[in-house]
Structure 1
Amino acid sequence: MNGSDFIKMIRDINHEIPIIILSIDISNKVLCDSINYGIQGYLQKPINGTLLLEKINNVKNEIHQKYLTKEYQNITNSSAIISKVNTEGIITYVNEVFCSISGYKKEELIGQSYSILRVQEKSSLFYTILWDKIKNKKEIWNGILKQRNKEEELYYLKTTIQPIIDQNEEIIEFISLSVLVTEMVHPQDQLNDYLKQQKDSILFLIKIEEFKYLEHSFTEKITKKLQQLFANELLRHMPEECGFSKIYLLNKGEFAFVQKYNEDLDEKYIIQTLKRFQRKVNQEKIKIGIVDYSLSIICSLAYGEDSLMNAKIGLKKIFKSKKNFIVANNFLEELTRDANAKLNKFIMLKTAIDSYNIVSHFQPIVNNKTRKIEKYESLVRLIDTENNIVSPYHFLEIAKEGQYYHTITSIVLQNSFQALFYINIDISINLSALDLQDESTRDYFILLLNKYKTEAHRITIELVEDESIQDKQDIQKFIQEVKNYGVKIALDDFGKGFSNFARIQAYQPNYIKIDGSLIRNIEQDSLSRDLVETIVFFAKKQKIKTIAEYVENENIYKILLELGIDYSQGHYFGKAGLLKEFNLR
């Protein structure tokens, strides 16, 4: 057996064993055989000890580098997410980690277009730029990829894609190396991305009812920890039959479960199951350190399109209604419809102001004993572009949300004071807490009193019941000031709210206007009659005159007369209209 045969025998057994040839034969055949067998070195006899030692050290270093490279490849392949695609985007290789993350088997991926994993972005520009960089410019791309697994759940990868180029500068394939960064992406962004992919979804939104108190009671770190622990508890208690497998921890104590909407969904069963889930969670306690915390949740369920927005609107409705569970379908559509209606009202309001079509109508107030008109109440009206008369019910609350409310009040004040020249009896003007708390409105009222000083004693301010009054002292000071001009005060809507007698004490009125809800039912409702009788008895003892609103027929008028009410106002005696419609003198 010669040297070449011996080397072949070794290579047949182990291809990795390093071999150094020491030979006196330097023929071309020996050299070719050495290259073919992949030997690590060749030294010609006689042996040079220094060269041999150097060659051995070189071989040892090569072995060590190969070992390190192999270990690095093993570590990378076991932790990184690796895939290859050809120039057409067809998958040619995936490692085990890729399969584990994506939920697909290798045989399900190899030969498929990579788009099977792609998340649809709002624009295709993202992928256009990516492909231009790696395919046309032949450059490395680094960035975040959003992908969806076999169950259509989203995950996020920090990815490097490199084109593999041959000796002719042609791209053979693309290799990508990624790491999972889903936990680094904010859950709100994850949820938004999921909803972009699933137009129809069922979303269950949860909020910790006491969260605002938690924020103020604990540090940010503890509050965050509490939310994370609570999220784990919510996921643990979520019934499997509901089909939710992931929870999104959002902002401000909010959590979301979401899944693809199924038309075969038994909505009644899901609602009942989620309500049971809610009750169970509200009975649980969460341990932080050595302290147990009980937290209650409110829940909003929405399905179909715009489920997140509908659910969020549902939470707001829950807080207003004091409920704890709501099915929030089509709430966004309703909100949009309401917003459009409000916008149209704003346009109508601005148009009316600009065209001087905010007007005052006047309704007579009759002395019950003489049946003669002794006062008029000034009531604001709007004339729209089709000359329809619009009551304040349709625009006044909208005006309070914008900049036009105080403008309307100024117009009403001006119209009412000017009317003093056309009639020789009193005029009542409604002023709300919003009016009285506005310094410019108070100043304008005083200016008008000075301008019409000789007639100021014929003005009555009707104070509208309003619990939003913030500074009663300013209002009391203003009322005392206008009383010095001879202005009289009436309490409107008396008997409706909860602060009736406190208002009498605070404002010491000349008149009480009994709320229409008591007068309207006085024929059939003995309780309403008794309440009105009590108010009249009290008013007479305090020498305060009484006015009844909503007097709609003769029978109501007779009852009021019998009870001793001083004045009546309502359609029985006259609807509100322009002053020219009344016989004024």
Structure 2
Amino acid sequence: MKYTTKLKIKITLAISFFLVWVVIIGFSQYYREIEKIDKDCNEKLLTAAQLARHIVGDDFHNQIKSGKVVSEREDMKNILALSNFAQEAHVKYIYTIILDANDTLRFTSSSALEKELLTGEKLTRYFDSYEYYPKMITALESGNIVYDLDNDTDEWGSFRSIFVPYTTKSGMRYLMGVDIDNKAMEVRARETIISEAIKSIVLFFALLPLLLLYRAHFYKTNRRLRLLVDKATHQLRYMNKNLERLVDEKSAQILSQALIDPLTELPNRMQLQQDLMIDGFKGIAIVNIDDFKEVNDFFGIAIGDKILREFAKELQSFRLKVYRLNGDEFVIFKAVTDEGDQIEADFRSMVQALHEKVYIIDGETLNLNVTVGIAIGQKDLLGQADIALHLAKQTEQSIVVYKKEYSTEQKAKHYLSLSQAIRQALLSSRIICYYQPIVEAASGKIKKYETLVRMVMEDGTILLPGDFLMVAQKTKLYTEITKEVIRQACETFRLRPEGFSVNLSARDILSSDTVDFILDTIRRTDTANRIVFEILESEGIENYKEVSLFIQKMQNEGAKIAIDDFGSGYSSFENILMLNVDYIKIDGSLIRNIDHEQRHAIVVQTIIEFSQKIGAKTIAEFVSSEPIADKVKELGIDYSQGYFFGKPEPLPAYKT
């Protein structure tokens, strides 16, 4: 009896000890798994940041430092490239950030989620600002990698992040940031808790009967349990080793996928950038398929993708290394002995063969034309080939080889400086409106004003539109200028009786955001029945459906439409007939010499007769003298505008 009691006590103690031991093992394994998750997460962040540098990295930021203006098209290319890589790398966001001259954090590129790409909401674009964030500042200023493990939350969510600073050869410092969603980390942690709890419970209940069966001797039972635990530990180590192998294989697979274009299976831009780092002379050609968007629109995306794959195989048939740069652009890489290599002749033969290649689509034949930009040398070949490609398109040549004189570095610096000045002018209310009178030709009385934008520099210099609008058009600033002009003009004339006109570009008309702003402003200021929107014929008519819809919307509000600069270059009466316009402004090239050029008078007379037949009023521009004003009146033009009646100048917000 006494022995039985002692045995029961021993067994109870053994079971209690085993239970505590199982719990300790479970917690220990749980914390080891959590540490492994943290380590894997940090390694994933660092790997993604290092690989992303090959997508948007030193070359891109060197170009920014040199003053290059990043177009919306190039910005969207970077967004799509980073978004694809972020998806492959299983991270939430990848982005690059710089610190501008005003110590403001600015995005130079960023990935986006599919929803953000579709809706445009929370979509980060080039040079968007980010709130002051000390850890980013620390990384940029110290040059050291900074991990952000505080799980801070911003408008995009709660993330674990890494900030890796890089410095280009030109001395520009930028930050490569990578975010992992904390929700994913929490899910993995919960899964680990549940897994370890289940393991502990299963282990306990699996081994507990063994204790009860081996009552004869506690130490013997304990020894066997230790053997089982050692075996289980060995199996766990074996499983962990296999898991590490699988992780390594998956990482290698992701790295390989990051260097291959999935559609054509050609090396991609990242691989090209790595290959271009090889020393020595090289030659590359950017091959762009002309008007490929029309192929997609006509045949559909699926057929378009099929053609791209066939085109890629055709390029490979030349037995040179071929890359897919993006969309309908490919790169051919050729090693050359020196700058005198006959690479241009070789590429011209290739282009001829590409033009002769016939593609069969549902029994129909299709030929593709290409435009090629070539660069030969050792450094910056991709940028140089891109400049050559753009020049080839502008001059309608099949092939252009880059030359040093094509460099736009100085122009880019000017653009960057001026774009910064425009941005500051918008922030400082130095974008202002001048107004030039438009008089009734018969009476000479002022009936309307044309709104003309000006920019006041910090030193008081006033810039005309031609000095800054072309630069603004290459950035988001152009839309902001349009909105500021609309706002100022409507506020000026809300308490004045005259009519007034505002110039709009095709870009303004095609922007739903700008159109909504216009509608809201003319309704709020009650100026819809006095405003005239002037549309430049050469810009807008080619987008007939969109322009027609815009005209209808504005005329429903009571606004009027004018076609500006009619008669400059090639003008089409057919274009005007397609649109229900209220005014036709006759270009100054026909008016300035109308008092002594009979041929100009004949052309103007034809425009007047045409306008009268369609019920539109006419306005003569550049009326600079009394003889011209008299001739305009004699011909029967309805309104006159020019220095003879008044120069552009500011107006008070009410008529005195």
The DSSP-based 3-state class of the residue aligned with 2:644 is: coil
Is the helix fraction higher in 1 or 2? 2
Write the distance in 2 (CA, Å) between the matches of 1:362 and 1:312. 42
How big is the shift at 1:270?
6.2
Matched residues, number:
383
Write the distance in 1 (CA, Å) between the matches of 2:651 and 2:627. 28
How big is the shift at 1:362?
0.8
Is residue 306 from structure 1 mapped to residue 380 from structure 2 by the alignment? yes
Write the distance in 1 (CA, Å) between the matches of 2:495 and 2:413. 41
> CA-to-partner distance for each residue in 1:461-512, whole Å, 9 max, x for gaps?
33443134653564244233322xxx44433233456565544553341x22
Match of 1:480 in 2: 555
Alignment of 1:64-463 (within 5 A): 186=267, 192-198=273-279, 200-207=281-288, 213=295, 224=309, 227-232=312-317, 234-235=318-319, 246-250=320-324, 254-260=330-336, 262=338, 265=340, 271=344, 275=348, 278-279=351-352, 282-283=355-356, 296-304=369-377, 305-330=379-404, 333-334=407-408, 336-420=409-493, 424-436=497-509, 438=511, 441-442=514-515, 445=518, 449=522, 453=526, 457-463=529-535
Match of 1:53 in 2: none
How big is the shift at 1:535?
0.8
Change (3 A) 1:386 1:470: farther
Write the distance in 1 (CA, Å) between the matches of 2:492 and 2:365. 69
> CA-to-partner distance for each residue in 1:265-300, whole Å, 9 max, x for gaps?
28xx76567546644664467999x99996654332
Equivalent in 629, 637, 640 of residue 565 of structure 1: 637
Equivalent in 604, 610, 624 of residue 552 of structure 1: 624
Write the distance in 2 (CA, Å) between the matches of 1:354 and 1:430. 22
Contact kept in structure 2, 1:368 and 1:568, CA below 8 Å = yes
> CA-to-partner distance for each residue in 1:351-404, whole Å, 9 max, x for gaps?
112211111101122333333433221212111111111222333344455444
Change (3 A) 1:554 1:248: same
How big is the shift at 1:568?
1.8
Match of 1:161 in 2: none
AA in 2 matched with 1:197: I
Write the distance in 1 (CA, Å) between the matches of 2:364 and 2:610. 56
* Higher gyration radius (CA): 1
Contact kept in structure 1, 2:272 and 2:323, CA below 8 Å = no
TM-score, normalisation: structure 2: 0.48
AA in 2 matched with 1:227: A
> CA-to-partner distance for each residue in 1:195-254, whole Å, 9 max, x for gaps?
32336544344455587759957697886466335433x35xxxxxxxxxx544545563
> CA-to-partner distance for each residue in 1:390-437, whole Å, 9 max, x for gaps?
222333344455444444334323322343377553322334444455
Equivalent in 460, 471, 492 of residue 546 of structure 2: 471
Match of 2:647 in 1: 575
Match of 2:601 in 1: 529
Write the distance in 2 (CA, Å) between the matches of 1:520 and 1:294. 48
Write the distance in 1 (CA, Å) between the matches of 2:366 and 2:373. 23
The DSSP-based 3-state class of the residue aligned with 2:486 is: helix
Change (3 A) 1:472 1:227: closer
Is residue 507 from structure 1 mapped to residue 580 from structure 2 by the alignment? yes
Contact kept in structure 2, 1:369 and 1:566, CA below 8 Å = yes
Write the distance in 1 (CA, Å) between the matches of 2:368 and 2:499. 59
Contact kept in structure 1, 2:419 and 2:471, CA below 8 Å = yes
Change (3 A) 1:313 1:424: same
Change (3 A) 1:410 1:186: closer
TM-score, normalisation: structure 1: 0.53
Write the distance in 2 (CA, Å) between the matches of 1:218 and 1:448. 45
Write the distance in 2 (CA, Å) between the matches of 1:219 and 1:429. 41
AA in 1 matched with 2:556: E
Change (3 A) 1:385 1:504: farther
AA in 1 matched with 2:398: N
RMSD over aligned CA atoms reads 4.5
How big is the shift at 1:321?
4.5
The DSSP-based 3-state class of the residue aligned with 1:506 is: coil
What 5-or-longer segments of structure 1 have no aligned partner? 1-121, 124-142, 144-183, 236-245
Contact kept in structure 1, 2:509 and 2:547, CA below 8 Å = no
How big is the shift at 1:543?
4.5
Contact kept in structure 2, 1:230 and 1:286, CA below 8 Å = no
Write the distance in 1 (CA, Å) between the matches of 2:277 and 2:518. 56
Change (3 A) 1:577 1:500: farther
The DSSP-based 3-state class of the residue aligned with 2:453 is: strand
Write the distance in 1 (CA, Å) between the matches of 2:364 and 2:287. 23
Write the distance in 1 (CA, Å) between the matches of 2:350 and 2:544. 42
How big is the shift at 1:526?
5.5
Write the distance in 2 (CA, Å) between the matches of 1:539 and 1:211. 39
Contact kept in structure 1, 2:281 and 2:336, CA below 8 Å = yes
Write the distance in 2 (CA, Å) between the matches of 1:211 and 1:450. 42
The DSSP-based 3-state class of the residue aligned with 1:417 is: helix
How big is the shift at 1:576?
1.0
How big is the shift at 1:515?
2.5
What 5-or-longer segments of structure 2 have no aligned partner? 1-167, 170-247, 249-264
The DSSP-based 3-state class of the residue aligned with 2:449 is: strand
AA in 2 matched with 1:196: M
Contact kept in structure 2, 1:490 and 1:513, CA below 8 Å = yes
Contact kept in structure 2, 1:546 and 1:565, CA below 8 Å = yes
